[in-house]
Amino acid sequence: MSEGANREVHPAVFVLDARGHPLDPCHPARARRLLAAGRAVVVRHTPFVIRLKDRSVADSTVAGVQVGIDPGSKHTGLAVFTDRDGSRAGRYAIQLDHRGALIRDRLASRAAYRRGRRSRNLRYRSPRFLNRTKPKGWLAPSLRHRVDTTVSWVARLTRWAPVAAVHVERVSFDTHALSAGKPLEGVEYQQGTLAGCEVREYLLAKWGRACAYCGVSGVPLNLDHIHPRSQGGSDRISNLTLACIRCNQAKNATPVEEFLKGRPALLARILGQAKAPLHDAAAVNATRWALWRALEATGLPVHTASGGRTKWNRSRTGAPKSHTLDALHVGELENVTAWPSTVLVVTATGRGTYARTIPDRYGFPRLVRPRTKLHHGFQTGDLVRANVPAGKKAGVHAGRVLVRSSGSFDITTRHGRVTGINHRHVRHLQRADGYGYTTQKEANQNDRPSRARPGLDGHPAPDSSPA
């Protein structure tokens, strides 16, 4: 790491020229000066975007930025950074929280309602699943949502910043490097500085980033041979697991059957999970491949890398683990000089529902929703600021609003929900766009525990960050 590495900086402000074309992001202090001088106007509140009145792209030197993406099932990290000869400086960080689980649960609930209606003494409606085909490349709606929202936010960033390239993890780990029956030392590109990173990333995903023997997480984890090498155990993936330092030292070279003789259920679970094939890995990576194809279709240069390389990059730079810092460390880099101190957490909330009725437990209509969503000029999901002059709710409250036809609104702020705010005290900050916005502090060096000693089987801890 070079001098000045790991320096936390304020998130940048996105800047547009007079015609709406993106310029290089600027420091928040410079944005305040431009707004105070009347040279710029606010275009968007969150993320904060300004537009210059007296500047165009032709009058400016635009260096450009790049975007790193760390895809995940529940959260996706996005990092906007500048790259100078492999030295990256983070400018903006976004954590995108998906709602795939909610989509899956609602689809399952809808299917249950339909099955219930068909099984009752009602008019018969034959099932139609046999005459419906899925197109090539079809993904389940919960998975398609993750791809679509990520691509949508990349498109937004290209409108607010001059994005020159995108870096994305195409796979968490290289399954070709983990083929069953091949010894680990026989994989060519695991020799050298990246040795073991793909293996460790795969094992972290396979064993849930926790010790297989005691279940503890958030501590340094060692690679452990289920059947000790001293007794003929191999180095294949099916014989490797994760163990905390305490369990690793306690097990030592003891056969797993003897080490867990008093816990037969745990022994059966470990042996069963150890033999699990790589089909699960292919399912996890399906979304990443679909995301890569969708990003390629945007026309931006897309560079791909594996999660093993991201983990190796973090170990070199000393950065703690988070979704946004993983996005900053995707691909080839020399060092990271800085990253934003604050992360914008973007939660996919949707834009409401087409259903006008609320069903009961049996799927029959119970309540009817109003057909109009706009009340007193506001709709649920708008970003607002309420300045209440007096009473129990006196003060300034900013956040996402929930509207009622009575004019008594609720506002969800970063500190919780404030109820019963009169609409006369509420002012718009930003119209609803299907997302909720909050901020949180980025992980720092103090969040990274100390490096563990090697285990008694001679294998060092794969990573000193919480697994």
For residue 439, tell me if it sits in a domain. Answer: no
How far apart, in whole angstroms, are the C-alpha atoms of residue 135 and residue 318?
44
Do 92 and 192 belong to one domain?
yes
For residue 57, tell me if it sits in a domain. Answer: no
Supply the CATH number for residue 391's domain.
2.30.30.30
Residue 334: which domain range?
1-5+64-118+143-350+444-467
Residue 118 or 196, more confident: 118
How far CA 185 is from CA of 176, 188, 458, in Å, comes to: 13, 8, 16
- What is the CA angle 258-260-263, rounded to 5? 135
State residue 455's pLDDT score: 30
- Whether the full predicted model's pTM is greater than 0.75, yes or no, is no
Q: What is the pLDDT of residues 64-75, one digit of tens each?
A: 999 999 988 888
For residue 393, tell me if it sits in a domain. Answer: yes
Mean pLDDT value across residues 191-214? 72
Do 322 and 421 belong to one domain?
no
Domain count, the chain: 2
For residue 12, tell me if it sits in a domain. Answer: no
State residue 83's pLDDT score: 93
What's the pLDDT band for 183 if we cut at 50, 70, 90?
A: very low
Do 374 and 329 belong to one domain?
no
State residue 235's pLDDT score: 79
What's the pLDDT band for 137 if we cut at 50, 70, 90?
A: confident
Do 100 and 225 belong to one domain?
yes
Do 324 and 227 belong to one domain?
yes
Do 262 and 382 belong to one domain?
no
Do 318 and 239 belong to one domain?
yes
How far apart, in whole angstroms, are the C-alpha atoms of residue 208 and residue 213?
12
Residue partners of 292: CB distance under 8 A and separation at least 6: 168, 170, 302, 304
For residue 361, tell me if it sits in a domain. Answer: no
State residue 180's pLDDT score: 41
Q: Which of 33-42, 152-161, 265-274, 392-401 has the lowest mean pLDDT?
A: 265-274
Share of the chain above pLDDT 70, in %: 83
* Residue matched to tokens 């155990």: 233
What's the pLDDT band for 441 if we cut at 50, 70, 90?
A: very high
Q: Is a pLDDT exceeding 70 seen at residue 448?
A: no
The mean of the pLDDT values for the chain is 82
Do 298 and 201 belong to one domain?
yes
Do 338 and 420 belong to one domain?
no
Residue 467 or 36, more confident: 36
- For residue 8, list its beta bridge partners: 339
Task: Spell out a b/e string for 375-396, using b for 16 or more CB atoms within 10 Å of the CB, else e.
Answer: beebbbbbbbbbebeeeebeee
For residue 59, tell me if it sits in a domain. Answer: no
Do 75 and 191 belong to one domain?
yes
Residue partners of 124: CB distance under 8 A and separation at least 6: 118
For residue 292, tell me if it sits in a domain. Answer: yes
What's the pLDDT band for 176 if we cut at 50, 70, 90?
A: low
Q: Verify cis geometry, omega within 30 degrees of 0, for the bond prior to 462.
A: no
What's the pLDDT band for 2 if we cut at 50, 70, 90?
A: very low
Do 313 and 389 belong to one domain?
no
For residue 288, tell me if it sits in a domain. Answer: yes
What's the pLDDT band for 461 if we cut at 50, 70, 90?
A: very low
**Nearest 10 degrees: Cα torsion 99, 105, 106, 110:** 160
Do 151 and 232 belong to one domain?
yes
If you write DSSP's letter for every residue of 289-308 in order, what string do you get?
Answer: HHHHHHHHTTTS-EEEEEHH
How far apart, in whole angstroms, are the C-alpha atoms of residue 202 and residue 207?
9
